[in-house]
Amino acid sequence: NRLATLEEFNLDGVLPAEPGWFDPAQMEQALLNLFKNARESGSDPDEIALRLAQGAGELRFEVLDRGPGMSEAVLAQALLPFYSTKRADPALKGEAQGGTGLGLALAREIAEAHDGRIALSNRDGGGLRVAISLPQARPC
């Protein structure tokens, strides 16, 4: 599993029995962006998880963390290009200073290019859930 060599996370649950139909390089990029955001949220690495689920004709990838989550105002804007969810810190340099605001927007574009969708929600007990849902059916 190449993804596990690039980011530290826990796999929550079991892998789906049916294959998914998507561009693996694009989905890897989307998930890497989500894991990067989870790590930068301040979440303990042991609390970052990937959950895969099948049902209702879709395959769902969920990246879960235990960072501070997002306010309703930030949730409403977070998927827009160049809207950074990270606060600028003058002590940091470059992208780490505040983020580019492209990670979640790119993940959204990848999901939509696969006729899917992305949704963000705060978790009970703190943290964020980012879910990418893709159609399960094989494309014609």
For the stretch 103-117, pLDDT in tens is: 999 999 999 999 999
pLDDT value of position 140: 59
Identify the CATH class of 2-135. alpha beta
First-to-last C-alpha distance (Å) of the chain: 28
**Which has the higher per-residue pLDDT, 69 or 90?**
69
Give the model's confidence band at 86: pLDDT under 50 very low, under 70 low, under 90 confident, else very high: low
Residue 14 half-sphere exposure toward CB, CA atoms < 13 A = 3
pLDDT value of position 51: 96
**Which has the higher per-residue pLDDT, 139 or 67?**
67
Instruction: Please give the model's pTM, rounded to 2 decimal places.
Output: 0.84
pLDDT value of position 88: 44
Give the model's confidence band at 59: pLDDT under 50 very low, under 70 low, under 90 confident, else very high: very high
CA R_g for the chain: 15
pLDDT value of position 95: 46
Residue 54 has pLDDT above 80, yes or no: yes
Mean residue pLDDT across the chain: 86
pLDDT value of position 43: 92
Give the domain ranges of the chain.
2-135
Which of 13-22, 54-63, 70-79 shows the lowest per-residue confidence on average (mean pLDDT)? 13-22
pLDDT value of position 92: 40
